[in-house]
Structure 1
Amino acid sequence: MSKRWTQMIIGITILGLFFGWIRHVDAQAEQDAQLLLRVAKPFMQTNEHITFKYTGYFGTCDGVDAKVMDAGERLSNKLGFTSYTNEPLSLKSSIYTVKSEAAGSAAATLTVASPAGQSACYAVLRLDAPGSADQAQLLKWQEQMTAKLSGQGIQGMWNVMIQGNATEDFSISNDPKEFLTELVQAYKGNVVERYEDGTTYSASLVSSEFEASIRSGNQKVNVQIALHLDTTSGLWRLTIGTPIITMEY
């Protein structure tokens, strides 16, 4: 995880927690993830990777390195990170990170940070898995982590994403708008925001099928879908996330 990406994650967490964008719905998190992955599967030629990410408030560390390290070690032990490496990722902010194997072929990363000028600590738990991973194991891991995080009083939300190349049928027809419309219908959503620039097409949806949501302006968003043309390979990369996409697409 790069320094820039870590700081971006922490920034998103702070915005969500302090401006009320995050809706806390742990009880439905696994159902949201299962639905996202199941619906996406027929639209993808290859599943390059799947990401689960939980962000939440984790007490106060006052920006003190020793307190951040202590909080990170305590939480990593509670979450079962038995085999890990620990290294600082930023010189400007106190950041603790640990990594461990999880759910078979996946890699879990826990980040605890206290951004400069803040007294609070934030926890970011992330699981990165290849598309070939057993999705049942990933969902079981998510359920177990939800219980452990709640047990530590950490209030936050799950963000689940899947990314891979669009199906061969789409690559042949090459109609991104039509393909996007089919996905919107598959998720039983209504588009509240769109973006197009020739090589990228994205849509933000509101869908009653999902519980987790954020507020984007005056709009509620449950799912985001993005198509991006790789001009080198000529393939369209498909990224889908609930309630939003927080990875490069």
Structure 2
Amino acid sequence: MMRKWMVGCVCMCLVWLSATILTGFMQRNEDATAEHRLTQLWKLSESMQAKPSHFVVKLNGEQKFTGHQSLQVQVTAWSKVLLGGIKSEVKTKDGKIVVSANWQANGMNVHWMAVEREGNKFFWVYQIDANRVSDDTQAVMNLYTEVQTTQATFVRQLHEMGLTYNWNGTVQGEKKRQELGTAQQTVEQLRQKIAKTMKLTPMENYTDGGTYSESYSAPELGQGIVSGTHTLHLQMAVHQISGTDQERVSIGLPLITTEY
């Protein structure tokens, strides 16, 4: 059930990306920059009652190519400019060109991919996947700083190429489960904490055994995703880890796009 829900979540996210991709975040306003959004996510993580242990940050956009060269030649050349000396792999899947690259930066896993679309376009996504290496407080700060630094490098490249982007981020941490407490109770407590600094309106929820998720309207957070007749700006979820006394807390802006 949880995987089915996550598939639906990802599909909804892709619809949002397609709807906003032509305008993007870059140059729109200061509150929409990747730096600002990452800072928002970091501040929200302070309410988790758990040290952040995992960050997933995604920047994505769409690029249109023109001219007489083949799309494969163009996107390969474009990816070399964007990735520098990092080797990329070119494949054809279902008749569409896919260019991808994987590497490590500051101890984090980084993934880049461009996928051919109709109309001489490519959809691209850049993902930072970072895990905390130890439990001490300095390691938590290092985790955030490393994500921030790696993100800034890529955003600078995007600016230099005149490319716009959309941003999505998820932070996760694990904490000891309250005795007899449920995942829903933990989410409710988290909502109450965050609601002290901004207005949160619950719009959607999902439950599956030891997992509970809520999505909210919170215009103060800026860019959101349209779902049905409303807009979502924030998602929070708690998953009670089977066979342990631990639970995993996840916060996503505007959605959680990694399994929790």
Q: TM-score, normalised by structure 1?
A: 0.78
Q: What does 1:96-175 correspond to in 2, within 5 Å?
A: 96-102=99-105, 104-115=106-117, 119-132=120-133, 133-165=142-174, 167-168=175-176, 170-172=177-179, 174-175=181-182
Q: CA-to-partner distance for each residue in 1:200-240, whole Å, 9 max, x for gaps?
A: 21111122441221111121111111112232435322221
Aligned counterparts of 2:182 and 2:9: Cα–Cα separation in 1:
33
2:38 corresponds in structure 1 to: 33
Q: Which deviates more from structure 2 when the two are superposed, residues 183-192 or residues 23-32?
A: 23-32
1:238 corresponds in structure 2 to: 249
Aligned-residue offset at 1:14: 5.3
Q: TM-score, normalised by structure 2?
A: 0.75
Aligned-residue offset at 1:142: 2.2
1:182 corresponds in structure 2 to: 189
Gaps of 5+ in 2: 1-6, 134-141
Q: Which deviates more from structure 2 when the two are superposed, residues 22-31 or residues 92-101?
A: 22-31
Q: CA-to-partner distance for each residue in 1:1-32, whole Å, 9 max, x for gaps?
A: xxxxxx99996675224445998434333222
Aligned counterparts of 2:10 and 2:97: Cα–Cα separation in 1:
11
Aligned counterparts of 2:10 and 2:238: Cα–Cα separation in 1:
26
2:212 corresponds in structure 1 to: 201
Give aligned pairs, total.
Answer: 237
Aligned counterparts of 2:190 and 2:80: Cα–Cα separation in 1:
38
Percent identity over the alignment?
18
Gaps of 5+ in 1: 1-6
Q: CA-to-partner distance for each residue in 1:162-199, whole Å, 9 max, x for gaps?
A: 1232x22x343523223212222333322121122332
Aligned counterparts of 1:98 and 1:9: Cα–Cα separation in 2:
25
Q: What does 1:86-101 correspond to in 2, within 5 Å?
A: 86=89, 88=91, 90=93, 92-101=95-104
Counterpart contact for 1:159–1:241, Cα < 8 Å: yes
